[in-house]
Every structure is written in structure tokens, then in C-alpha cells.
Structure 1
Amino acid sequence: MTNVNKENIYRNLLDAGCSRDFADDFIHLEDKQKKMKLLSCHRCSLLDKIHEYQKQLDCLDYLIYSTKNK
């Protein structure tokens, strides 16, 4: 892996919400399966946050709807 490629991957990981420690660990891993597991775990974590925020938005939408129609 070239330095430019490592820098691009590192930047992409940070842009994806990964911590610097996560990105450092990922860059230094050699095992492709371990890399895939790390990425999959982070993806699941982000998806859980999306679901949590969606539930919060649904609650607010209901409150807005209820308040408008009273």
C-alpha cells in the first residue's frame, strides 16, 4: 500500500466518523478479514445511530403534528 493510498484511506475513515485511533489501527492491520470486521462493526454502529435518530425525529414529528391540530 502506497503512502498516498494510506492517506486516502485514513482520510476516508475519518470522514466516515471513525476515530483517529480506529484509523491508525485499521491502517496497520495486515489481515483483510480483520479489516472487514472492523469496517462492518463501525457500519453497524452508524446504522444504529441512524435508527435512534429516526425514532427521535418520529417523536418530534408526532409532537409537531399534535400541537398543530389542537
Structure 2
Amino acid sequence: MGTENHDEAIIRNLVDAGCDGDTIAAFVEGIHEEKITEGLRLLAAHRRSLLDDLHKEQKRIDCLDYLVYKIEKSQKA
């Protein structure tokens, strides 16, 4: 696979993962400069951010589930 196709695949993956333009540019530049550790650090930071967002959304879902549970329980009483 050529470097251009390889870069396109990496960029497409990073876009699909929700990375912003600055993160993508820094990652691709780092890969070209063989700064793999720095690139992996960028990916880890983005992953942590996504996981934090996931936890926030899960808490919101839990709140809605609890509300539905309370309402359904009060109607059965």
C-alpha cells in the first residue's frame, strides 16, 4: 500500500473516530516523523475524551430510566 493510500486510510479512521482536524494533522505528521509514542498519546487522549462523553450520556440515560421506573411504579400502586 502506498503512503498516500495509507494516509487516507488513517485519516478516514480518525475522522470516523471523531478526531478534530488538529488531532488528525498532528497524528499524521507524527507518523511521518516516526513519533509513534506521541501519536499513540494523542489517540489515548481522544479515547479518554470519548469515554468521558459516554459516561456522561450513560448517566443521563440512567436518570431517564429511573424517572420512567418511578412513574410506572406509581401508576401500579
Q: Report the structure number with the largest CA radius of gyration.
A: 2
Q: Which amino acid aligns with 1:15?
A: D
Deviation of 1:21 after TM superposition, in Å, equals 1.9
1:67 aligns with 2:52: no
What is the identity percentage for the equivalent residue pairs of Structure 1 and Structure 2?
A: 44
Runs of at least 5 residues in structure 1 that lack an aligned partner in the other structure: none
- The number of equivalent residue pairs is 70
4+ runs deviating over 4 angstroms: none
The structure 2 residue matched to 1:38, chosen from 38, 42, 57, is 42
RMSD in angstroms over aligned alpha carbons?
Answer: 1.1
CA distance in 1, matches of 2:27, 2:39: 6
Report the secondary structure of 2:60's partner residue.
Answer: helix
Unaligned runs of at least 5 residues, structure 2: none
1:6-56 deviation line (CA, Å, top 9, x unaligned): 000001000001012211111111211100100011001111111111111
TM score, norm. by length of structure 1: 0.93
Indicate the residue corresponding to 1:51 in structure 2. 55
